[in-house]
């Protein structure tokens, strides 16, 4: 069995940024808190998330608005999603008991 072979693959975009109408208020609050924390660390990365998720822009479009390269935007997007995922999941653990 390969390392992680028993793990189910999860799309990070969907895990962190659900786009369905069934998103709970708690999920939105957790996302908002995670975005605020990310903005304190790096405002550009937080703005990129807002442009991608809320405005529905592509990485290329967001990069142009933020005046950064497409490669930098792609790196920032990957980093920001991982940070948000970590923050939201950390909050889930704290709220489960």
Is 66 domain-assigned? yes
40-64 pLDDT, tens per residue? Answer: 999 999 999 999 988 999 999 999 9
pLDDT top residue among 44 and 94: 44
Alpha-carbon 70 to chain mean position: 18
Is 83 domain-assigned? yes
Domain containing 24 equals 12-95
Is 7 domain-assigned? no
Residue 12 predicted with pLDDT over 90: no
Mean pLDDT of 57-80: 98
List the single range of 20-24, 31-35, 40-44, 70-74 with lowest mean pLDDT. 20-24
Is 2 domain-assigned? no
d(CA 80, CA 85): 8
pTM of the model: 0.72
Is 4 domain-assigned? no
Using an 8 Å Cβ cutoff, are 69 and 62 in contact? Answer: no
Looking at residue 79, which CATH number applies to its domain? 1.10.10
List the single range of 24-28, 34-38, 52-56 with lowest mean pLDDT. 24-28
Our count of domains for the chain comes to 1
């Amino acid at each position: 069995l390969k390392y992680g072979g028993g793990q189910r693959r999860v799309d990070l975009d969907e895990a962190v940024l659900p786009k369905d109408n069934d998103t709970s208020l708690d999920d939105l609050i957790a996302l908002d808190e995670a975005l605020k924390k990310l903005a304190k660390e790096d405002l550009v990365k937080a703005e990129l998330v807002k442009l991608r998720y809320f405005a529905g822009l592509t990485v290329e479009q967001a990069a142009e608005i933020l005046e950064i390269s497409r490669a930098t935007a792609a790196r920032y997007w990957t980093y920001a999603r991982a940070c948000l995922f970590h923050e939201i999941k950390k909050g889930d653990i704290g709220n489960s008991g």
